[in-house]
Amino acid sequence: MAKTAEPRVVAELGRPETPEETAARKAEQSRLYRDRKTLRNLLYALLVSVALVAAIIFLVPRSQESMLPDIDYRQVAVAAQPSMPVPLAVPELPEGWTSNAAELRTATSDQVVSWYIGLISPAKQFVGVTQAIDANPTWVSDQVARGLASGVTTIGGVEWTIYDNRDRGSDGVGNARYALTAESGATTYIVFGSGGPDDVDTVAAAIAQNVLAQPTSLDPPTSLDQPEAVTP
């Protein structure tokens, strides 16, 4: 004769559990099992995703070259020079420097026309050069992130005004963490960078002869010492 299973004795209760308690216990065990299974499935899916991403990183060929464009600013200056009344600054820099931009920036509401070059130093720091015609104080202030002049320095025979914004952090400063300005005739020069003085000073020295050679009038130059035309 088959034995009837006796109700399970619950230690905490000191008595057999009721059918309702048995059903509740089994339901809770089922829920916990489903939760653990769902968690395991999520972990498995995450591991598969990580493995897939790792495979893509290691298997997809990647170029070793910089993703930044390399602009020949000398050629751009040759094309832009006829439309400017002053010789354009074209820095000759040591090996390792590159350019990611070069353009004439036409007058807008501020009525300032400027020649702009974006440069990348060997240490991958940005340095910008802006050469403006008939710049006004408000425009200059905007270019140096509304910083205050903190001193002067002489580079390449040119006296430059220093704007050191590094103590202001990155908020509102942009790439003008350190900047130099100079004036010659109707031309204003601004050399600014995302790093410290070294790279900015290097570029300032490279355009110093252009600063010193600026005409006092805005008559178009009859000959250009720089830039020389580059034969393709």
Report the C-alpha gap between 178 and 166 in whole angstroms.
7
Report the pLDDT averaged over residues 153-163: 97
176, two tokens: 């003008």
Distance in Å from the first CA to the final CA of the chain: 106
98: helix, strand or coil: strand
More confident site: 33 or 162: 162
Report the C-alpha gap between 74 and 91 in whole angstroms.
9
- Cross-strand bridge partners of residue 154: 159
Looking at the whole model, is its pTM more than 0.75? no
Report the C-alpha gap between 117 and 93 in whole angstroms.
13
Residue 2's Cβ-side half-sphere holds a number of Cα atoms within 13 Å equal to 2
What is the pLDDT confidence band of residue 66, given thresholds at 50, 70 and 90? very low
Residue pLDDT, tens place only, 81-138: 999 999 999 999 999 999 999 999 986 677 899 999 999 999 999 999 999 999 999 9
Tell me, what DSSP letter sits at residue 94?
-
210, two tokens: 């252009």
Rg (Cα) of the chain, in Å, rounded? 35
pLDDT at 119: 97
* 10 pLDDT higher than 90: no
* 154 pLDDT higher than 70: yes
Q: If 0-12 CB within 10 Å is exposed, 13-18 middle and 19+ buried, where does residue 209 land? A: middle
Q: Taking a C-beta distance cutoff of 8 angstroms, is the pair 190, 162 a contact?
A: no
